[in-house]
Amino acid sequence: MTGVASAGFAGIGKEKARATWVSKDVWEERRSLGQCLRCNADDHQIRECGMLPAFRPAAAAGVRVLEVEVNDAAVTASENDHP
């Protein structure tokens, strides 16, 4: 048998659950305890895990700082002002 079905892909709406992204500290703890790095189970390792890999969260947008110079000069009428 060949094709999509034999490759282990589920039909539409029957996708495997996806793991949740975890921090490096959580990975290190799971590794030290011999747990699956993907789902935290004790009975298998990541190579036998039935869950899909986690997606890396989108990087946070950088913070832009806008410097504003404050001028305390008195505001006077200008020829550009319209009455």
Residue 64 included in any domain: no
Cβ-contact 54, 22 below 8 angstroms: yes
Helix (H, G, I), strand (E, B) or coil at 27: helix
Asked if residue 20 belongs to a domain, the reply is yes
Task: Assess if residue 62 is contained within a domain.
Answer: no
* Domain-embedded: residue 80: no
Per-residue confidence of the chain (83 residues) as pLDDT tens digits? Answer: 444 444 444 455 667 899 999 999 999 999 999 999 999 999 999 999 999 999 998 876 676 777 777 776 665 666 666 66
The whole-number pLDDT of residue 59 equals 78
Burial class (CB in 10 A: 0-12, 13-18, 19+), 38: buried
- Range of 25's domain? 8-48
Q: How many CB atoms lie within 10 A of CB 46?
A: 16
Give 31-66 as a DSSP string: HHHT--TTT--SS--GGG--SBPPPPPPPPPPPP--
Residue 41 lies in a domain: yes
Residue 40 lies in a domain: yes
Structural domain tally of the chain?
1
| pTM, 2 dp | 0.51
